[in-house]
Amino acid sequence: RKSGRKSRASRVRVRPGESAGPPTAALVNPEGAEADAEILLCGPKVMIRALRGELTARGTPTSRIHYEDFEYM
């Protein structure tokens, strides 16, 4: 907790077949989301690379983007 403020967490899950396309930065971290939100991405390397690029282009600090990549067999 920082400055006595309570930590709030939100979770966005996108599973294959649930969206009209690949996840986007707007879906993962929508406008109006908390500026200090921590973002955890998990998925194929190509998706992680694309989302990290979009998120940083929107102003999300790389220190707040965490990820675990994997490949489908």
* Tokens 């921590």, located at residue: 38
Tell me the per-residue pLDDT of 6-27, one tens digit each, with 9 for 90 and over: 445 556 666 666 667 778 888 7
Residue range 57-63: mean pLDDT, rounded:
89
Entry pTM: 0.69
Phi, psi for 52 (deg, rounded to 5): -60, -40
CB 69 within 8 A of CB 44: yes
- Given pLDDT bands bounded at 50, 70 and 90, which one contains residue 63? very high
Q: Is it the case that residue 61 has pLDDT exceeding 70?
A: yes
